[in-house]
Amino acid sequence: MDIVYQFVGVVLWVHRQQINKQYPGGILKFIEDSLEAVFAKLPIHDNYFWRVYINGKYTSQCCPEYLREENYNQLRNGLLDRLFIHTDSVQGFLEKVDRPITRLVLLDHMDWLSDRYFPLLESEWQAIINRAGPNTRILWRSGGLRTDFLNKVQVRVNGQSRELPDILKYHEQLAAELHPLDRVHTYGSFYIADLAA
């Protein structure tokens, strides 16, 4: 039962009001549906997210890809030299890096910025626009079922003010196909978009 309470704590922390307003049946139905998806609909044998949460450890067969013996050995034998670790905000990293970035995984931190730190959300998206290379693709998720707050984000593209939705090409069908396969299942929505600017 402790695991259910811990899960509930995560979900309640991730924008409870959003889920209560947007999810049919509210927060309790969201939790019920999420747990059903993880433990009844998705394979658990390779779900290392929940297995480590429940058992407190990985197994050699149920772990992140980089910890599998063959992949770990590749990292140790030279691939690790291609990995660069940065401890910074998204914006801070983008402003310091000196090359175009074409792939970004933003996870759910924009939920937190949208409520109290909207100017930071806009400046982060401006940094994304400024550093984006050709064919930039961005993935993110949200505690809510929608990220309507992004519709208000203003950025400058080629010297002109633009609304963020005008420069994003969403891959709604692909995101809708992939979101139910999410093995963590604590987020209300998932997005894939390309920068059209």
pLDDT at 16: 72
Whole-angstrom distance, CA of residue 60 vs CA of residue 85: 25
Q: Per-residue pLDDT averaged across 37-50, rounded?
A: 93
Q: Is residue 41 part of a domain?
A: no
Q: Is residue 3 part of a domain?
A: no
Q: Is residue 164 part of a domain?
A: yes
Q: Is residue 182 part of a domain?
A: yes
The whole-model pTM stands at 0.86
Whole-angstrom distance, CA of residue 39 vs CA of residue 50: 9
Q: Per-residue pLDDT averaged across 59-81, rounded?
A: 92
Q: Is residue 187 part of a domain?
A: yes
Q: Between 118 and 84, name the one with better pLDDT.
A: 118
Q: What are the contacts of 17-20 at 24+ separation with CB within 8 A?
A: 18/111, 18/142, 18/143, 18/144, 18/145, 18/188, 19/143, 19/144, 19/145, 19/188
Question: Terminal CA-to-CA distance of the chain, rounded, Å?
Answer: 49
CB 194 within 8 A of CB 167: no
Q: Is residue 181 part of a domain?
A: yes
Tens digits of residue pLDDT in 132-189: 999 999 999 998 899 999 999 999 999 999 999 999 999 999 999 999 999 998 888 9
pLDDT at 138: 98
Domain containing 116 equals 84-195
Where would I find the beta strands (DSSP E) of the chain?
101-105, 132-142, 154-157, 160-163, 168-170, 189-195
Q: Is residue 11 part of a domain?
A: no
> How many domains, in total, are found in the chain?
1
Tens digits of residue pLDDT in 86-131: 899 999 999 999 999 999 999 889 988 998 899 999 999 999 999 9
Q: Is residue 99 part of a domain?
A: yes
